Structure 1
Amino acid sequence: MAHVELRGPMLGARWLLLFLVLTSSLGPARPEPRVPCYFIFEDSLVDNGNNNNIASLAVANYPPYGVDFAGGPTGRFTNGLTTVDVIPKLLGFHGFIPPYARTRGQALLAGVNFASAAAGIQEETGRQLGGRIPLSGQLQNYRSAVQEMVRILGGEETAATYLSKCIFSVGMGSNDYLNNYFMPALYGTSRQYTPEQYADVLTQQYSQQLRTLYNSGARKVALIGVGQVGCSPSELAQRSPDGVSCVEEINSAIGVFNAKLIGVVDELNALDGAHFIYINGYGIFEDIMRNSAAYGVSVTNRGCCGVGRNNGQITCLPYQAPYA
């Protein structure tokens, strides 16, 4: 996606509308949260500290990250709030969903953020950046959390009933393209698979991982499609013929993946009690870029900081001043 300069929270209206479908039968807003807990699985878009103590280039617990966040840098890859900081507030939670890296015990009952920057559906995705927690590892952490919740709640049946009322959001796949398939010097996937075949490989693995999540108690799941990563500053700098036009080769491959992901949602909804919804992340970011003024944001085709003024391929350096 193109870089979005944020000075405050942002949430696509369509994303919010679709997301809240999961809680539409729970009645009007009230002092207590509309759902008992919220669990998050994703990458740098919402990582809020899980990578802080990992040996990795994909960390953000230093300025200029967090310059607009109360208390300063936390590990969020943004100047302020992420979308999953906004959603809990709208659902009635009294604070942010904390990272799993520093959450144990009773605090697990309100939900946890398992997201990890550079993570992907495939194990090797993002390895050139160092440590990260792929989706399989995030699911393993979730299962550990569930076991602790079983102990706290007094049994598996009670925990299963509790979890069935919670919201889960999962948004994976961006790095499987940016930090895998379209990085041929480091990964062989683009030589091994056509975009259609790679999308099949990803969605088959993703489907199995989502079934693992279902088998561990998840019932209300928002599955977020991949955005327009062919419009990201790093890809514009490396692949765009004019440095401005989005890279159609990448966006086209993303479109194939997202289309197959909709089919996965339909299959998962055949499971007993499952309520999966597909969030059109691609369309949301397209709408933001076309109608940025309506969202109160400005959109540019270069990174806000990092190594290389225009490509933003490497994260912001500590205490680096963002580009104007």
Structure 2
Amino acid sequence: MAFAAKTWLIGCIIALLFDLKLVSFVDGAPQVPCYFIFGDSLSDCGNNNKLQTLAKVNFLPYGIDYPGGISTGRFTNGKTAVDFLAEFLGFDHHMPAFTSVQGKEVLQGVNYASSGSGILNDTGKIVGERFSLLQQIDNHKSIIERIKQLQGNNDKTTDAYLGKCMYTVNIGSNDYEGNYLMSPAASQTTPPDKWAAQLVAAYSDALKILHDLGARKVAIWGLGSLGCEPSQIIEMKPNTTSGCVDDINHMVSLFDNSLPKLVDDLNKKIPDAHFVYVNMSNINPGNNPAALGVKVTKQPCCKVGDAGSCIPNSPPCANRNDYSYFDLYHPTEKAHLHGILKAYNSTKPQDVYPMNLSKLALL
């Protein structure tokens, strides 16, 4: 009976996705020729596996629900938001990690995301090696050269090709949790509003470089409610109406609230630019289980060690779809799917501004 119910539920979900036109590969070709991914552990698919760093999870229970039940280096139990987006865009595979991509694979896209990384180059240095946003962009330059070679070293052909591709950037959490909030010197000398302004300025510069390299369809993610992560709730034990660490959420909101203006400025000032802002604070409303379709938001699904990651090879919770967090920091596959469904399909500007990702892909 349990198996039948589970099969019925999966069938309903698949039918819903097709009905909403969220799964586009039925047409036989992807909506875009390639998809390039920049970010941190929320998008990392194994780049950090080959780095000298504490920020890697190439062990179970991470990946327990990924196809094949294998650990790939993704910081969740299954697929990430960018994996789902690749599927929605019509690809029959998830974008490969920069550190392992081979041959003609580069033509359909690459995942450069690196756990522990940030907008600022020195963010995350406590964990060891990682690719900062600017380093990820440098890695992208090397991939562009490989694409040019495969396309006959024709700059115009490659530029036109890249201009049709999808780009997503989800980064900045570590600039708070792995930098500002961990550094007394930074937080004492730089008020939260100035820290946010510094991040936005650096972010803007990086996105302009990405545009100079050919990017035209770019979605950037807000950070959402970091103060509602189990890591913050368990450590700080906030006595607040929200149940979250409101001070941290306020700090992060100063950054997030600047991103719509950043998107407007980039779209107005840069030729052929189409930048989109994904508002995670509205899409994933903090500590609200009902809105997320889960039951547990304050506790991790897996057994965690001192660093907040799952204890290697420990059994996770059996009911993983009831949890919004897999470990102390990272969402479950269920939460990733919830967020990307809205980013891809929502018609509300408070979710995705100025358009959703399905419309961005078709420009």
Deviations 1:182-206 (A, max 9, x none): 1135xx2212211100011000001
Which position in structure 1 is the counterpart of 2:160?
A: 161
Distance 1:163 1:288, change over 3 A: farther
Deviations 1:183-232 (A, max 9, x none): 135xx221221110001100000100000100000000011111111111
Question: In structure 1, how many angstroms separate the alpha carbons of the residues matched to 2:53 and 2:288?
Answer: 31
Which position in structure 2 is the counterpart of 1:258?
A: 256
Tell me the CA shift for residue 28 of structure 1. Answer: 10
Work out which of the residue numbers 225, 230, 234 in structure 2 matches 1:228.
225
Distance 1:28 1:288, change over 3 A: farther
Question: In structure 2, how many angstroms separate the alpha carbons of the residues matched to 1:230 and 1:242?
Answer: 13
Tell me the CA shift for residue 321 of structure 1. Answer: 2.6
Question: In structure 2, how many angstroms separate the alpha carbons of the residues matched to 1:287 and 1:245?
Answer: 9
Distance 1:58 1:48, change over 3 A: same
Work out which of the residue numbers 288, 312, 316 in structure 2 matches 1:322.
316
Which position in structure 1 is the counterpart of 2:124?
A: 126
Which position in structure 2 is the counterpart of 1:298?
A: 295
Which position in structure 2 is the counterpart of 1:178?
A: 177
Q: Do the aligned residues in 2 keep the contact of 1:289 with 1:299 (CA within 8 Å)?
A: no
Question: In structure 1, how many angstroms separate the alpha carbons of the residues matched to 2:317 and 2:35?
Answer: 35
Which position in structure 1 is the counterpart of 2:305?
A: 307
Deviations 1:74-96 (A, max 9, x none): 00111111111111111111111
> CA RMSD of the aligned region, Å?
2.5
Question: In structure 2, how many angstroms separate the alpha carbons of the residues matched to 1:152 and 1:31?
Answer: 23
Tell me the CA shift for residue 317 of structure 1. Answer: 2.4
After superposition, residues 271-282 of structure 1 pair within 5 angstroms as 271-282=270-281
Q: Do the aligned residues in 2 keep the contact of 1:58 with 1:315 (CA within 8 Å)?
A: no
Deviates more, 1:105-114 or 1:231-240: 231-240
Which position in structure 1 is the counterpart of 2:235?
A: 238
AA aligned to 1:213 is: L
Which position in structure 1 is the counterpart of 2:65?
A: 68
Question: In structure 2, how many angstroms separate the alpha carbons of the residues matched to 1:45 and 1:241?
Answer: 25
Tell me the CA shift for residue 66 of structure 1. Answer: 0.7
Work out which of the residue numbers 243, 267, 270 in structure 2 matches 1:269.
267
After superposition, residues 116-155 of structure 1 pair within 5 angstroms as 116-154=114-152, 155=154
How many residue pairs get aligned? The number is 296
Question: In structure 2, how many angstroms separate the alpha carbons of the residues matched to 1:303 and 1:218?
Answer: 37
Which position in structure 1 is the counterpart of 2:334?
A: none
Work out which of the residue numbers 205, 208, 215 in structure 1 matches 2:205.
208
Q: Do the aligned residues in 2 keep the contact of 1:54 with 1:131 (CA within 8 Å)?
A: yes
Tell me the TM-score normalised to structure 1 length: 0.85
- Helix, strand or coil at the partner of 2:312: coil
Deviations 1:163-193 (A, max 9, x none): 01000000111111111111135xx221221
Q: Do the aligned residues in 1 keep the contact of 2:305 with 2:311 (CA within 8 Å)?
A: yes
Deviates more, 1:55-64 or 1:279-288: 279-288
Question: In structure 2, how many angstroms separate the alpha carbons of the residues matched to 1:66 and 1:28?
Answer: 24
The structure whose RCO (Cα within 8 Å, separation 6+) is larger is 1
Which position in structure 1 is the counterpart of 2:325?
A: none
Tell me the CA shift for residue 296 of structure 1. Answer: 4.3
Tell me the CA shift for residue 290 of structure 1. Answer: 4.5
Q: Which runs of 5+ in 2 are unaligned?
A: 1-8, 319-363
- Helix, strand or coil at the partner of 1:286: coil
Matched, 1:30 2:27: yes
Which position in structure 1 is the counterpart of 2:189?
A: 192
Tell me the CA shift for residue 241 of structure 1. Answer: 2.7
AA aligned to 1:316 is: C
AA aligned to 1:88 is: A
Which position in structure 2 is the counterpart of 1:107?
A: 105
- Helix, strand or coil at the partner of 1:32: coil
Deviations 1:214-270 (A, max 9, x none): 000000001111111111111112223349821111110111101112211111112
Question: In structure 2, how many angstroms separate the alpha carbons of the residues matched to 1:150 and 1:36?
Answer: 15
AA aligned to 1:136 is: L
